[in-house]
């Protein structure tokens, strides 16, 4: 079978032995995410035709207005994972706290916890711009058989066993890693099957795209301001191109294919940064590193950060390896002044 003709299901079965904890559970978990993604994709593609766009009328734990599709996507992913009895706990960006899951036998014998951002970039829904789903998987650290605790979720990103994202765009793609490289699968909507379309995805070591909301320039730390000026200088390989969608999944996906850096730093408006470590930064960092890229908080590796709370925010620099290194140099230099 040609590599690109493989379905996601066939690929999961074939690569199951690559996973050091191979027991079938992780494969079933990825399959559940695949199913939920197809359901959400169907609803996203009907936005504008049915009453699914606009605000839901409530705010999430972050104090952000929830969109109707936020709530719908959250329910779909939560229900799919709960009903299949694959995981022992789930934490969602949309929920205040994690939930613990027991099987029909009343026991808590499953090994994995999932952290999920059900619909990243939801502010773009109403204007028909690509949105996505981000997920992260860990092995529990508490004893099997007992209910999960906060400790199971507050693990550094380096302990992830799988991570991925779904991008609902001109085509729908599921991109994921289990620590053996990154592969992308595109949904054939005619038959509802994901096919391997982007095997062994890699960030170019260098790039010419920088992705940052320059409207917040005056609020950025000096190191970020200096790096932006560097990107804009007229040199042999510069100025770089500025491209910012405002949907993390879309910006990271583009830069992984074309080469670039995504930055969401601290600012005077968001002193801790805005992106969530557990739901956004860690999974994207795992994917980036597996694709030959780099992910940092501006000074050190994102996946080395030990979380202290479920909805912790951090600054985020992610993309082509050499670009992130250069941005870190500017941050360090500015901090030493």
Residues making up the annotated binding site for substrate are 120-123, 213, 244, 274
The beta strand positions in 260-320, using DSSP E, are: 260-264, 294-296, 316-319
Helix (H) or strand (E) holding 2: none
Is residue 36 within a helix (H) or strand (E), and if so which, with residue range? Answer: helix 25-44
Which residues are paired to 163 by β-bridges? 136, 177
Burial of 306 (0-12, 13-18, 19+ CB in 10 A): exposed
**In the chain, helix, strand, coil percent, each to 5?**
35, 25, 40
H or E element at residue 84: none
Contact by Cβ (8 Å): 125, 67: yes
Distance (Å, whole) CA 1 – CA 171: 23
Q: 28 near 35, Cβ under 8 Å?
A: no
The C-alpha atoms of residue 151 and residue 141 are separated, in whole angstroms, by 7
Nearest to 60, CA basis, from 310, 245, 282: 310
Extract the annotated binding site for Mg(2+): 93, 117, 119-120, 280
CA distances (Å), 196 to each of 54, 144, 278, in order?
A: 33, 34, 27
Query: What is the SS3 assignment for 88?
Result: strand
Helical axes 321-335 vs 222-232, angle rounded to 10°: 130
């Amino acid at each position: 079978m040609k590599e690109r003709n493989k379905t996601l299901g066939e690929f999961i079965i074939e690569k199951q032995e690559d996973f050091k904890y191979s027991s079938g559970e992780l494969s079933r978990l990825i399959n559940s995410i695949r199913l939920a993604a197809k359901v959400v994709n169907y609803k996203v593609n009907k936005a504008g035709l049915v009453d699914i766009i606009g605000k839901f009328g409530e705010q999430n734990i972050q104090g952000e207005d929830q969109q109707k599709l936020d709530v719908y996507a959250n329910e779909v992913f939560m229900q799919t994972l709960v009903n299949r009895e694959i995981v022992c706990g789930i934490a969602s960006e949309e929920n205040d706290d994690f939930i613990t899951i027991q099987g029909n036998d009343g026991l808590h014998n499953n090994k994995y916890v999932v952290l999920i951002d059900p619909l990243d970039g939801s502010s773009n829904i109403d204007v028909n711009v690509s949105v996505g789903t981000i997920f992260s998987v860990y092995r529990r650290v508490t004893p099997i058989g007992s209910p999960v605790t906060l400790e199971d979720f507050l693990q550094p990103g380096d302990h992830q066993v799988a991570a991925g994202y779904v991008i609902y765009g001109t085509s729908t793609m599921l991109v994921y890693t289990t620590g053996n490289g990154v592969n992308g699968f595109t949904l054939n909507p005619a038959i509802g099957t994901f096919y391997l379309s982007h095997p062994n995805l890699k960030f170019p070591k260098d790039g010419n795209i920088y992705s940052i909301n320059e409207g917040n320039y005056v609020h950025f730390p000096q190191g970020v301001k200096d790096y932006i000026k560097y990107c804009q200088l007229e040199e042999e390989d510069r100025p770089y191109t500025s491209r910012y969608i405002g949907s993390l999944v879309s910006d990271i996906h583009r830069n992984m294919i074309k080469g670039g850096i995504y930055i969401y730093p601290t600012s005077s408006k968001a002193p801790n940064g805005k992106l969530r470590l557990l739901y956004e930064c860690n999974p994207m960092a795992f994917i980036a590193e597996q694709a030959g890229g780099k992910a940092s908080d501006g000074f050190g590796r994102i996946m080395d950060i030990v979380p202290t709370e479920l909805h912790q925010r951090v600054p985020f620099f992610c993309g082509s390896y050499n670009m992130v290194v250069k941005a870190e140099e500017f941050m360090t230099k500015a901090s030493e002044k």
